[in-house]
A = this chain, B = another copy of it.
Amino acid sequence: MQDVLRAGLAGLGTVGASVVRLIARHENDLAVRCGRPMRVAAVSARSRDKDRGIDISSMAWFDDPVALATSDDIDVFVELIGGDSGPAEDAVRAALKAGKHVVTANKALLAKHGVELARLAEENGASLNFEAAVAGGIPIVKVMRESLAGNAINRVYGILNGTCNYILTQMEQEQRSFAECLAEAQRLGYAEADPTFDIEGNDTAHKLAILTSLAFGTEIDDGSIYIEGISSITLADIEAADELGYRIKLLGVAQRTETGIEQRVHPTMVPKSSAIARIDGVLNAIAVDADFVGEIVLVGPGAGGEATASSVVGDMADLGRGLSVPVLGRPAGELEPYRRARMRLHEGGYYIRLEVYDRPGAFARIATRMAEKQISLESIVQRRDEAPNGAGKPTPVILITYETTEAAIREAMEQIADENVIAAAPQVIRIEKMV
């Protein structure tokens, strides 16, 4: 049996404590599977004395994560601090420069500095594993980086944020407003006190940026992602989606097109019959469309200490076994520059909800503006309240378009807004085609 794999673990929050517990509980099995024992040799965190329900007395303590990262007494540095700069970044860089393997759950760091860190790892003969950075316990990084190596990927998309999915599921199931469901999510600990980062799609975008690179062999570009969050979704949209055979999910989508690669995060109409439509609550799910395998879908917990620890330790076990794969699936120098497909060129169907003033000719004007942009309508639903409208009170009209372009939709919406026939900004939600 080989020498012990000595891990230095920085960050003892929920995930860090779960990693310590996992390794203690499965010490023997891990040793058998890896052919060598695995041990948390040293730790670093903000407070040494906080009760985390784990025994760290046998582990060396470091106040400074950078000192831990470069310690001669560790082989692997496990970064669970978080953040795309500061101590997390400093420590990861220091570890790689010292030739230490790194395991991290830090999506923000990867999204911002992934290519540079990949280069640093290669230059120093170190591995950088980050299964936990995308979709928590779901092993999507390894599946894309290794299992699907024989495929050209056409599209990868998924539910990558459990907070948003919980809120959308609750809105649908409980018929409650976005604000009420957000408050409930906060009460249950599924959403932060400041939920902006989750509900406005930024968290999904970080994960998507990483998936895009793995899928298409391109450099990570998290600044080129089209992002819309879920805060504008209303119960009216959820109900209309249901009637029309859809559900609304916040998706991250990366897709190869003729002009480049689209990266987009937005609320999306997904057909009820699709696998993705049926993912409820805090679960995550990722679908990969590839030329040989067709479509595969992975579903599981996208967050949580224990599930994330499963991915962290899986990465550590790979290192224990001596497995090493280029950080982003190919050498950093072989990554192609990311070529952005402009959102205006996006092609797809659209759901549009308009609050139309109940005046003669109003709908004719809308239809004319759509027709001028060559937008064909697959269905039109005009929903009157059961009580008769007051004079001039707007009526909701739902349009589903056939495939058209984002540019056509945006121009049509601008012109319709100028017609003075609608009482509020149009609600536009993209429809995603699925198997």
Contact = CB atoms under 8 A, between A and B. Distances in A.
Contacts of A146: 142, 314, 317-318, 321, 323
A2 interface: no
A217 to B, nearest CB: 7
A367 to B, nearest CB: 37
B298 A331 contact: no
Interface stretch (A25-33, A43-51, A400-408): A25-33
Q: Which of A149, A324, A325, A329 has the most CB of B within 10 A?
A: A149
A313 B151 CA distance: 9
Interface in A266-320: 275, 278, 290-301, 304, 306-307, 309-314, 316-318
Contacts of A304: 294
A280 to B, nearest CB: 9
Contacts of A352: none
Interface stretch (A131-139, A202-210, A249-257): A131-139
A104 interface: no
Contacts of A275: 278, 299
A18 interface: yes
Interface string A1-39: 000000000000000001000110110011011110000
Contact of A297 (B30, B34, B300): B300
B148 A314 contact: yes
A293 B137 contact: yes
A275 B299 CA distance: 9
Nearest to A435: B283
A386 B26 CA distance: 59
Contact of A150 (B293, B309, B323, B334): B309
Interface residues of A, number: 61
A152 interface: yes
B18 A313 contact: no
Contacts of A151: 26, 310
B143 A139 contact: yes
B331 A325 contact: no
Given A301-B294, A321-B325, A30 B137 contact: no
A299 to B, nearest CB: 4
Given A300-B296, A330-B33, A311 B22 contact: no
Contacts of A299: 275, 296-299
B292 A18 contact: yes
Contacts of A295: 300-301
Given A295-B300, A321-B324, 11 more contacts: A25-B152, A25-B291, A29-B152, A32-B330, A131-B147, A142-B147, A150-B309, A150-B310, A296-B300, A297-B300, A298-B299
30 contacts: A25-B152, A30-B149, A33-B326, A33-B330, A34-B149, A35-B331, A137-B296, A139-B296, A142-B142, A142-B147, A146-B314, A146-B318, A146-B321, A149-B318, A150-B309, A150-B310, A150-B313, A150-B314, A150-B316, A275-B278, A275-B299, A292-B310, A293-B300, A293-B306, A293-B310, A295-B301, A296-B300, A297-B298, A297-B300, A323-B325
